[in-house]
């Protein structure tokens, strides 16, 4: 990365409901609303000889259905939907995939790791998911109020994600062919265990989806299936691989806006997580801390129950990384709460 590189937003107004904005000869930008603090998601449509190839779908629900209807009866009308790509298992990306496939008859393409994670999430009963959340939150040291709310909510993932049809799995040798290019599949772990991004090397286009967002850091969380997993190490590996991204490449994210300067952004995000790790080490001192302590240090503001889940799992991911890199160690548990102390 050159010292004089900067991030520069693409000068293009985000698309309104029912609209698409052209990003390249055969690539169009779509934006849907979300009912969260992060209140939107970027989706994409590729123009192919067979029809429209779509990337990501939004959450399950009537609002998403209405947004797709406006597109299918508007700028996407008159040509078939030739395929639906799902980048990863998070609800805002996969939630409406099954319904959209049923509505259009299009096949769904997904990486094997993310498909398995989606099916696992959908397969948990309310009682199973509630029990798993209870165990995690008690190990984190969260309040009884948070534990009870998580247990009683049950499987919130199934509320946001519909059942999937049989899918076509793709690996990192796969390319999606569009009218003007070839999009190489890439898989990385960190934000999710097998997140798919797409790159057209000839045209210097990288659809990073959620891995290289221009304004915020993607959530890097410990997984409920393995609370001690070091997902942050995987994400740092991705950031390192993007440090030398040339300034003239267009980075196309799943939230916010397309921009130039991916190498600069990778360096910023790496520094952001390094600062969080330093903050945790500074606050720990000589007294063991819980995941809840770390969460309150990293996210000192009021949060919804939905946000507490992501914040606590992200705090745990940073603690896990400090353990894996030898700065922290597991201390004796207290009342079932995992504690971390300096080595």
Q: 287-323 as b/e, with b when 16 or more CB fall inside 10 Å?
A: ebbbbbbbbbbbbeeeeeeebbbbbbbbbbbbbbbbb
Question: Is 159 part of any domain?
Answer: yes
Question: Is 158 part of any domain?
Answer: yes
> How do residues 71-81 score in pLDDT, each as one tens digit?
999 999 999 99
pLDDT at 84 over 80: yes
Q: What's the domain range around 236?
A: 8-274
Q: Is 129 helix (H, G, I), strand (E, B) or coil?
A: helix
Q: What is the pLDDT of residue 287?
A: 87
Closest residue by Cα to residue 204 from 31, 48, 24, 42: 24
Q: What is the pLDDT of residue 286?
A: 84
pLDDT at 2 over 70: no
More confident: 286 or 161? 161
> How do residues 243-284 score in pLDDT, each as one tens digit?
999 999 999 999 999 999 999 999 999 999 999 999 999 999
Question: Is 336 part of any domain?
Answer: no
Strands, E, within the chain: which ranges?
8-9, 21-24, 27-33, 40-48, 51-55, 81-85, 108-111, 168-170, 175-177, 182-188, 195-200, 205-209, 250-253, 259-260, 328-334, 337-342
> Average pLDDT of 38-64?
98
Question: Is 320 part of any domain?
Answer: no
pLDDT at 1 over 80: no
> Average pLDDT of 82-98?
98
The count of structural domains within the chain is 1
pLDDT at 179 over 70: yes
Question: Is 213 part of any domain?
Answer: yes
Question: Is 156 part of any domain?
Answer: yes
CATH number of the domain enclosing 122: 3.60.15.10
Question: Is 321 part of any domain?
Answer: no
Question: Is 318 part of any domain?
Answer: no
Cα 5 from chain centre: 26
């Amino acid at each position: 990365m050159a010292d004089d590189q900067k991030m520069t937003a693409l000068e293009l107004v985000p698309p309104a409901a029912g609209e698409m904005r052209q990003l390249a000869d055969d690539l169009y930008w779509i934006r849907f609303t979300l009912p969260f603090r992060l209140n939107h998601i970027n989706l994409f449509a590729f123009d192919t000889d067979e029809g429209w190839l779509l990337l990501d779908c939004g959450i399950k629900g009537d609002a998403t259905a209405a947004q797709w209807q406006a597109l299918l009866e508007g700028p996407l009308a008159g040509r078939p939907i030739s395929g639906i790509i799902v980048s990863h298992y998070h609800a805002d990306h996969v939630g409406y995939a099954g319904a959209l496939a049923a509505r259009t008859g299009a096949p769904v393409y997904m990486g094997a790791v993310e498909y398995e994670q989606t099916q696992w999430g959908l397969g948990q009963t309310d009682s199973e998911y509630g029990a798993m959340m209870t165990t995690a939150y008690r190990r984190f040291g969260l309040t009884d109020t948070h534990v009870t709310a998580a247990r009683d909510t049950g499987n919130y993932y199934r509320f946001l994600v519909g059942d999937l049809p049989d899918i076509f799995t793709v690996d990192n040798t796969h390319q999606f062919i569009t009218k003007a290019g070839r999009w190489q599949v890439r898989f990385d772990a960190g934000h999710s265990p097998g997140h798919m991004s797409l790159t057209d090397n000839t045209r210097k286009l990288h659809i990073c989806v959620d891995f290289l967002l221009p304004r915020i850091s993607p959530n890097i969380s410990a997984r409920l299936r393995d609370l001690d997993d070091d997902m942050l190490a995987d994400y740092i590996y991705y950031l390192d691989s993007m440090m030398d991204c040339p300034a003239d490449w267009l980075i196309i994210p799943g939230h916010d806006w397309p921009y130039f300067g991916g190498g600069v952004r990778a360096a910023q995000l790496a520094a952001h997580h390094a600062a969080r790790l330093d903050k945790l080490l500074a606050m720990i001192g000589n007294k063991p801390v819980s995941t809840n302590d770390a969460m309150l240090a990293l996210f000192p503001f009021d949060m919804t129950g939905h946000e507490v889940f992501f914040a606590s799992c992200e705090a745990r991911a940073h603690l896990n990384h400090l353990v894996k890199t030898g700065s922290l160690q597991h201390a004796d548990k207290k009342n079932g709460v995992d504690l971390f102390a300096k080595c």
